[in-house]
Amino acid sequence: MSSELIAAATRKKDEIIRKIEIFSRCEHLNDVRRFWISYEPSPAAPESVAGVDGSNIKVDFQGFTIYGVAAAAVLFRGLANGKYESAVTLSVADIDVLSPPQVAERVGLYREVLEVKVAIQSMLSDVEYVLMDGSLRSMLITPSPLNNILLSTILARVSREFGDEVFSNIEARLTRTLRSIDAVRNCPIVTKEVTEPVVYDIDESKSQMITALEYIEKLAVIRRLISDAYLNNIPVLFISKTSRSQTYVKRFFKGKTPVTDIMLFQYLTRESGFSKPYLEDKPIKEMPKVLGLREFYDKLRILLTYVRLGTGEHVFKVEIPYIIGSSATNTLESVVRDVVDILKSVSGDGYPYPLYEAHHITYLSREAFINIVNALGITHLLTGREVLGEY
């Protein structure tokens, strides 16, 4: 097969290069520089900092899926002589069964919920900064299938099926389980407990309803994270290594181009610094009118910037939650400068070390997960890939 691929590559070489050039071509080089603020960070190491990341994996059997999710917050405290004397890991993991549809989206949602929950736990442990791996915007707008169907329609069906009290049940259980990391471990996803009786006779409609409830749980815990952060004056920074966001491209350059923001700044700038901070002027999305979520998210904005910590290093995206009327009155640029100084102090090779360690701690390898699945004793069940000699 590889010989066929080599033949195709030879045949299409020029075409492929031409297509790639479209990505790297930009008519707005000078404009990009207008939006890039060169800045040499002055590292200011915090006394304590937490890095949060998560991981998910699944094995699809014929008719159902076994998934695993894990999230961890690594807390570094006790800065003395440039070294953190204490490192504590708060971690949660879960393994369970799901049936189609929307399995991949739901597993991703569970991971995000667990990440936010361990982040909330880290703030109970006297931490100055919380660094989250991933995009806040992405967390708030996914799973995407729910965007294609009117969420309010599904939630109305939820009320009919489960009763209005299902929402307050979720919130009450959330409040209870967020009191300690052990409580989170005992009940990683509260929606599952609320909806457990229906999972055995599930159809597509019920699946949509349960996904909607899980989405409500996610919105509720993110609200709790951001609220606690504001209450305790703990900055929470969402950091993305990769991003398909085109906020700058679309808004400032008006170009119909496949180029993403991160590519633009990565390839057309070189110095350390950050892009001019961008604060959205309207809510991210119209959120559901349950549990007061609409009111909260109507006031939430995301302060967006792209950051490079050293000349020639990688650019990454930073999102900072911003609540209208509650957030600090500093200029956006000065807020970002402070953030860049903090990030520089905890970074090696242009990327925050707490996130690097959290990533390694939570990484679930396929090999390890299959070993766990084997240990469950269900290897006699078919995945359908056995005919290929795979599992």
Reduced to 3 states (helix: H, G, I; strand: E, B; else coil), residue 174 is helix
- Smallest separation (angstroms) from another protein to the CB of 131: 12
Q: Which is nearer to another protein, 124 or 361 (CB)?
A: 361
> Collapsing DSSP states into helix, strand and coil, what is residue 67?
strand
Give min distance, CB of 358 to another protein, in A. 11
* Residue 360 touches another protein, criterion: CB under 8 A: yes
Closer CB to another protein, 39 or 356, in the complex: 356
From CA 382, how far away is CA 342, in angstroms rounded? 50
Smallest gap from Cβ 349 to another protein, in A, equals 4
The helix (run of H) or strand (run of E) holding residue 90 is strand 83-98
Query: Closer to another protein at the Cβ: 6 or 87?
Result: 87
Helix (H) or strand (E) holding 342: helix 332-345
Residue number, 85 or 126, with CB nearest to another protein:
85
368 binds another protein per the rule CB under 8 A: no
What tokens does 330 get?
A: 């500093």
Q: In a 3-state reduction of DSSP, which class is residue 283?
A: coil
Under rule CB under 8 A, residue 377 binds another protein? no
Q: Min. distance of Cβ 128 from another protein in angstroms?
A: 14
**CB 204, CB 299: distance < 8 Å:** no
* Nearest one of 23, 20, 53 to 266, comparing CA atoms: 23
Binding mask 190-219 for another protein (x = CB under 8 A): ------------------------------
Please give the radius of gyration of the chain, using alpha carbons only, rounded to the nearest integer: 23
Residue with tokens 């911003």: 322
- Residues in region 338-357 near another protein by CB under 8 A: 346-349, 353-354, 356-357
Instruction: Measure the CA–CA gap between 235 and 238, rounded to whole angstroms.
Output: 10
Q: What does the per-residue mask of binding to another protein show for 71-100, with x meaning CB under 8 A?
A: -----x-----xxxx-x-------------
Query: Where do contacts with another protein occur on this chain (CB under 8 A)?
Result: 76, 82-85, 87, 346-349, 353-354, 356-357, 360
